[in-house]
Amino acid sequence: MTVIPRQPMEQRSERMGALARLPVFFALSERRALVAGGSAAAAWKVELLLATGAHVAVYAQEIGEEMQAVIGVASPGTATWHARGWQAEDFTGAALAVGACDNEDDAAHFAAAARATGVPVNVIDKPDYCDFSFGSIVNRSPLVVGISTDGAAPVFAQAVRAKIEAVLPHGFAAWAAAARSWRARIKESGLSFAGRRKFWQLFAGLAIANPGRTPADDDLTSLIDNVGRLGPAADAGSVTLVGAGPGDPELLTLRAVRALQTADVILFDDLVSGEVLDFARREARKILVGKQGHGPSCKQSDVNDMMVSLARQGRHVVRLKGGDPLIFGRAGEEIEACRAANIPVEIVPGISAVQGAASRLGVSLTGRGKVRRLQLVTGHAANGQLPDDIDWRSIADGAATTAIYMPVKTLADFVTRAVAAGLDAEVPAVAIVNATRPTERRIVSTIGALSGDIVAAQLTGPVLVIVGKVLDAALSAQVYSDDVLVGAQR
C-alpha cells in the first residue's frame, strides 16, 4: 500500500461570528452616571450603577418608593436626586446615561442628547435607542458573568443566569478577589513570564478544587514555592495528550477543556470535530497533523519531531486525538518521543469510540449473564492489511463482545477468518460511523452479512464495528428501515 505524504497544515482560528452586542465591562468607580426617571425600573439601574462604585445623579420630578429606598441606603454623596427633568448640560462629564422614558419621542430625545455629548446611552426597554444593554448578571465579583439576548428573550437570559448561578460556586468571589490582590506581588516575586503563567495555572487549579475555602497568604507562598521548585522546568514547554472523545463536544472531560484553554499550540487529527476545537484558547495555533486511513498522511516521525520542537521552545503543546489517545492512537510512540527528549508529558483520557457508540445504541457492552469479556481489536496493521497476529479463537468466543476499529478495508477477510475459527456468522453486529455526531449513521446486520451491507450503504468516515450477543435485545427493540439507521431517525 502506498501512503501519500502529507504535510502538517496550520488552521487559523475562525473569524468571530456575528455579535448582536459587544460584551464589555465598564469601570465606573467614582465616575459620574446620569439616570433620568424615578420609576422602579430606573431604581434597579441605579442600584447596579452604585454597586460598581459610580456616583449617580438621578433627574426626575418625582421618584417612587423603590428609588427612595435605593438612594436612602447609598453611601453619602454617591446618589443624588435632582427634583427636575434632565437638561442637555447634565450629560457633560457623564460616563454613561440611562433613561426611563415613557414614549418613543422622549426616548429619541434623550438618546440624541446623550450621543451629542459622546455619552453611551441606554433607554430602558427600548433597544432601538440603546448603545449598550445591561443583560443578566451572575455576581461573584470581581468575577462577573454577563448574559445578553439583545432584548430578544429576557426570560431565556434569566433561565441561563439561573443555570450558571447553580454551577458557579459563590466561593469563587473570594478566589477572584485574592487574584486581584496578589497580582502585584506576583510581578515582584522574581518569577519569569513563563513562571508567572505557571503560577496562575496552579492558582486556577487550586481555586477550582477548593471553591468553598477562603484563600490565604499561605496559599500564595505555597504556590510561589511550587513554581520555584520547578526550576528551569517552569520555563520549559510540555506536552499533553488529550482525548477528544468520539465527536460530540459535550463528551469532553473537564480536564480536556482545561488543557485546550491553556494550550499554546494544538496538534490535532482529522477525526477531531470543529466543535471540539471551539473549546480551545482562541490565541492557540491549531495545526492539522492528521493521519487518514489509506489516504494522505503525516508521517508519525514528523508529528513527533514537531511536538518535541514546539515544547522545547517553551510552548504548552496539546496533542489532540479522537476518542481516547491510549486506544489505537499511537500515543505510545509520542510518549516515548517526549520522554526521550526530557519533555514533561501528561495524558488526559477521553471517551473512547466504542463507549460513545455503545451509549448511542443503548447497549451494555458487558451485559451480565451474556458476556464475560470486552475486547478491542484493530482492523488493519501498519501495512494496511489484516493483522496476522489476531487471536482468532478469542474473536470466535461467543461470550465476548468485540469492537473492531478501522475495519472497513479488511472486514470481509476478518469475518472469513473469524467464522473459520468458530464465530457464528449470525451473531448480531453493528457498523456505526461518526458515532455521537449529528452525521451518525448505523448499519444493523449480522457479522456474516455486514461487510456487504457496508459496501452497499457506501459508508464514509470513521467506522467502528461492534459484534456480540449483547446487541440482541437493544437492536430488536429498535424500528428501522432497510437495516440502515440514520442519526435521529434510528
- Which residues are identified as catalytic? 269, 291
Identify the residue whose cell numbers are 420609576: 39
Q: How far apart are CA 46 and CA 74, in angstroms?
A: 10
Percent helix, strand, coil in the chain (nearest 5)? 40, 20, 40
Dist CA 401 CA 394 (whole Å): 10
CB-neighbour burial class of residue 330 (10 A; exposed 0-12, middle 13-18, buried 19+):
middle
Does residue 144 contact residue 137 with C-beta atoms inside 8 Å? yes
For 456, list phi and psi in degrees, rounded to 5: -65, -35
- The Cα–Cα gap between 22 and 148 comes to 10
Determine if the peptide bond prior to 142 is cis (ω within 30°). Answer: yes
Q: How far is CA 228 from CA 231, 232, 337, in A?
A: 6, 9, 27
Coil, helix or strand for 215?
coil
Taking CA atoms, 451 is separated from 165, 411, 442, 466, in Å, by: 51, 6, 13, 13
Query: 269: left (phi > 0), else alpha (psi -120 to 50), else beta?
Result: beta
* CA distances (Å), origin 192, targets 125, 219, 262, 345: 49, 19, 17, 22
Please check whether residue 61 is in contact with residue 37, taking contact to mean a CB–CB distance below 8 angstroms: no
Q: Half-sphere exposure of 173 toward its Cβ, with a 13 Å CA cutoff? A: 8
Q: Which of 488, 429, 437, 419 is nearest to 464 (CA)?
A: 429
Cell of 262: 491553556
**Residues 6+ positions from 178 with CB-CB distance below 8 Å:** 215, 219, 220
Burial code (b: 16+ CB inside 10 Å, e: under 16) for 37-53 equals: bbbeebbbbbbbbbebe
The cell for 206 is 487550586
